[in-house]
Amino acid sequence: MLQLRGDSGPRWIAVLLLWAALCCLFVPAVTVKHENFKTCDQSGFCKRNRQFADAAAATSSWASPYTVDPATITFKDGELHATVLKTLQIGQEKVELPLTVTFLDSGVARVTLDEARRLKGDITLRHDSKARKERYNEAGKWALVGGLKVADGAALSETADEGYTKVFYGEGSKHQAVIRHAPFGIEFQRDGETQVKFNERGLLNLEHWRPKTEKPAEEKREGEEETKEEEKKEEIAGEDESTWWDESFGGATDSKPRGPEAIALDITFPGYDHVFGIPEHATGLSLKTTRGGDGAYSEPYRLYNADVFEYEMDSPMTLYGAIPFMQAHRKGSTVGVFWLNAAETWIDVVKAKSSANPLALGVKSHTDTQTHWISESGQLDVFVFLGPTPQDLTRQYGELTGYTAMPQSFAIAYHQCRWNYVTDEDVKDVDRKFDKHKIPYDVIWLDIEYTQEKKYFTWDPLTFVNPDKMGKQLDKSDRKLVVIIDPHIKNTDNYPVIDELKKKDLAVKNKEGNQYEGWCWPGSSMWIDCFNPAAISWWKGLFKYDSFKGTLPNTFIWNDMNEPSVFNGPETTMPKDNIHFGGWEHRDVHNLNGMTFHNATYQAIAERKKGELRRPFVLTRSFYSGSQRSAAMWTGDNLAEWSHLEASLPMILNQGISGFPFAGADVGGFFGNPSKELLTRWYQAGIYYPFFRGHAHIDTRRREPYIPGAPYTEIITQALRLRYQLLPVWYTAFREAHTTGAPIVRPNFYVHPEDERGFAVDDQLYIGSTGLLAKPVTKEGATSVDVYLADDQPYYDYFDYTRYQGAGTHTVSAPLEKIPLLMQGGHIIPRRDRPRRSSGLMKFDPFTLVVVLDKENAAKGELYLDDGETFDYEAGAYIHRRFAFDGKRSILTSTNAVPLGAKFTAKLEAYLKSMSKVRVEKVIIVGAPKAWKDKTEVVVMEEGAKESARRKTVAMEFHAGSGKQADWAIVRDPKVGIGRGWKIDFS
Ligand X SMILES: *[C@@H]1O[C@H](CO)[C@@H](O)[C@H](O)[C@H]1NC(C)=O
Catalytic residues: 560, 563, 637
**Given the rule CB under 6 A, which of 458-466, 499-507, 596-604, 641-649 is the region that contacts ligand X?**
596-604
Q: Is 599 in the site for ligand X (CB under 6 A)?
A: yes
Other Cβ atoms less than 10 A from the Cβ of 870: the count is 17
Q: Are strands 175-180 and 164-169 parallel, antiparallel or unpaired?
A: antiparallel
Contact 550, 469 (CB under 8 A): no
Which residues ranging from 234 to 263 are in contact with ligand X (CB under 6 A)? none
CB of 602 to ligand X, least distance (A): 7
Residue window 672-691: x/- pattern of binding to ligand X, with contact defined by CB under 6 A: --------------------
Q: Is 557 in the site for ligand X (CB under 6 A)?
A: no
How far apart CA 417 and CA 932 sit, in angstroms, is 49
Q: Is 603 in the site for ligand X (CB under 6 A)?
A: yes
Other Cβ atoms less than 10 A from the Cβ of 372: the count is 24
Nearer to ligand X by C-beta: 65 or 626?
626
Nearest-10 crossing angle of helices 533-542, 593-606: 50
CB of 616 to ligand X, least distance (A): 10
Residue window 907-936: x/- pattern of binding to ligand X, with contact defined by CB under 6 A: ------------------------------
CB of 624 to ligand X, least distance (A): 8
CB of 345 to ligand X, least distance (A): 18
CB of 417 to ligand X, least distance (A): 25
Nearer to ligand X by C-beta: 557 or 777?
557
| Cα dihedral: 418, 419, 424, 426 (round 10) | -60
Nearer to ligand X by C-beta: 142 or 671?
142
Longest dimension (CA), the chain: 109
Which residues ranging from 386 to 425 are in contact with ligand X (CB under 6 A)? none
Helix (H) or strand (E) segment spanning residue 804: strand 803-805
Which residues ranging from 331 to 350 are in contact with ligand X (CB under 6 A)? none
Q: How many residues bind ligand X (CB under 6 A)?
A: 6
Residue window 843-862: x/- pattern of binding to ligand X, with contact defined by CB under 6 A: --------------------
Q: Is 622 in the site for ligand X (CB under 6 A)?
A: no
**Given the rule CB under 6 A, which of 214-222, 506-514, 593-601, 688-696 is the region that contacts ligand X?**
593-601
Nearer to ligand X by C-beta: 142 or 958?
142
- Cα separations (Å) of 251 from 35, 523, 524? 12, 20, 19
Strand partners, 953: 939
How far apart CA 504 and CA 507 sit, in angstroms, is 9
Residue 819 identity (one-letter amino acid): I
Q: Is 595 in the site for ligand X (CB under 6 A)?
A: yes
Nearer to ligand X by C-beta: 129 or 599?
599
**Given the rule CB under 6 A, which of 18-26, 386-394, 592-600, 690-698 is the region that contacts ligand X?**
592-600
How far apart CA 414 and CA 684 sit, in angstroms, is 12
**Given the rule CB under 6 A, which of 455-463, 595-603, 912-920, 967-975 is the region that contacts ligand X?**
595-603
Nearer to ligand X by C-beta: 370 or 603?
603
Task: Among 205, 318, 532, 596, indicate the residue that binds ligand X (CB under 6 A).
Answer: 596
Residue 222 identity (one-letter amino acid): E
CB of 599 to ligand X, least distance (A): 4
Backbone angles phi, psi at 662, to 5 degrees: -80, 80
Which residues ranging from 103 to 142 are in contact with ligand X (CB under 6 A)? 142
How far apart CA 739 and CA 173 sit, in angstroms, is 26
Q: Give Cβ neighbours of residue 923 (< 8 Å, ≥ 6 apart).
A: 848, 849, 851, 892, 970, 971, 974, 984
Nearer to ligand X by C-beta: 50 or 615?
615
Q: Is 581 in the site for ligand X (CB under 6 A)?
A: no
Contact 651, 282 (CB under 8 A): yes
Nearer to ligand X by C-beta: 487 or 771?
487
Residue window 625-664: x/- pattern of binding to ligand X, with contact defined by CB under 6 A: -x--------------------------------------
What letters, b where the CB count within 10 A reaches 16 and e where it falls short, cover 319-357? bbbbbbbbbbbbeebbbbbbbbbbbbbbbbbbbeebebe
CB of 445 to ligand X, least distance (A): 24
Contact 851, 926 (CB under 8 A): yes
Least Cα distance to 397 among 169, 176, 197, 658 occurs for 658
**Given the rule CB under 6 A, which of 366-374, 544-552, 591-599, 891-899 is the region that contacts ligand X?**
591-599
CB of 487 to ligand X, least distance (A): 13
Least Cα distance to 456 among 307, 563, 530, 561 occurs for 561
Which residues ranging from 142 to 161 are in contact with ligand X (CB under 6 A)? 142
Nearer to ligand X by C-beta: 572 or 603?
603
Least Cα distance to 371 among 507, 163, 214, 197 occurs for 197
CB of 629 to ligand X, least distance (A): 7
Q: Give Cβ neighbours of residue 49 (< 8 Å, ≥ 6 apart).
A: 203, 205, 262, 264, 346, 372, 374
Contact 571, 306 (CB under 8 A): yes
Q: Is 604 in the site for ligand X (CB under 6 A)?
A: no
Which residue's C-beta sits nearest to ligand X? 599
How far apart CA 787 and CA 804 sit, in angstroms, is 10
Nearer to ligand X by C-beta: 378 or 927?
378
Residues that bind ligand X (CB under 6 A): 142, 595-596, 599, 603, 626
